[in-house]
């Protein structure tokens, strides 16, 4: 069937159809949402959906995009390129040269430590999936500890395990929501 739309009007694509649910990964009881098929099939529309989570005025106030290792790197770097902003990685412990700020935190299935290099400016934090909020909360605290101001929290997927998650008055913005 031929799709009719106005010139310049984006096609509406069901991005969820490309996400694969993987049971019991990385451990029993976890339902992992694999975004790699989505990125392979619909990368540009995925980044456009993330871009649309902030208004033009909000984007004008942002200096850089941070991406949380590792899938947040893919999304954050592409979004930074699309918006003409810098990209700042938030990495797992031991992956960045000094100086770094570090922050240990609790995951839904263990513990980890995030690190980033110090700096300044207003950032948007980008991650792939918001589950229990541990990684996102740690990333925001780490940004502050490293000298950055957090302007927005963005995730590709919100699993709604922590409905209404807010950090310092900022609500999570997600392109896709699972209930």
User: What residues act catalytically?
Assistant: 71, 108
What is the DSSP secondary-structure string of the chain?
Answer: ------TTPPPP--GGGG-EEEET-SSTT-EEEE-HHHHHHHHHHHHHHHHTTS-HHHHHT--EEEEETTHHHHHHHHHHHHHT-EEEEEEETTSSPSS-EEEEEEETTEEEEEEE----EEEEEEEEEESSSHHHHHHHHHHHHTTEEEEEEEEEEE--SSTT-EETTEEEEEEEE--
Q: Do residues 94 and 74 make contact, with C-beta atoms less than 8 angstroms apart? A: no
Does 50 sit behind a cis peptide bond, omega within 30 degrees of 0 on the bond before it?
no
Distance from C-alpha of 101 to C-alpha of 8, rounded to nearest angstrom:
44
């Amino acid at each position: 069937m031929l799709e009719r739309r106005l010139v310049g009007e984006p096609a509406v694509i069901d991005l969820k159809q490309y996400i694969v649910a993987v049971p019991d990964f990385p451990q029993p009881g976890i339902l992992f949402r694999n975004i790699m098929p989505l990125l392979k099939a619909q990368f540009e529309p995925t980044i456009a959906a993330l871009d649309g989570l902030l208004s033009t005025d909000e984007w004008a106030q942002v200096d850089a995009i941070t991406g949380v290792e590792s899938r947040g790197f893919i999304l954050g770097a592409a979004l930074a390129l699309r918006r003409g902003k810098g990209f700042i990685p938030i990495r797992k412990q031991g992956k960045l040269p000094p100086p770094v700020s570090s922050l240990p935190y609790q995951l839904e299935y263990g513990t980890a430590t995030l690190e980033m290099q110090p700096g300044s400016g207003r950032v948007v934090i980008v991650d792939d999936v918001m589950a229990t909020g541990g990684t996102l909360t740690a990333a925001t605290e780490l940004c502050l500890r490293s000298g950055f101001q957090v302007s927005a929290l963005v995730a590709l997927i919100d699993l709604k395990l922590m409905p209404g998650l807010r950090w310092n008055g900022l609500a999570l913005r997600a392109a896709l929501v699972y209930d």
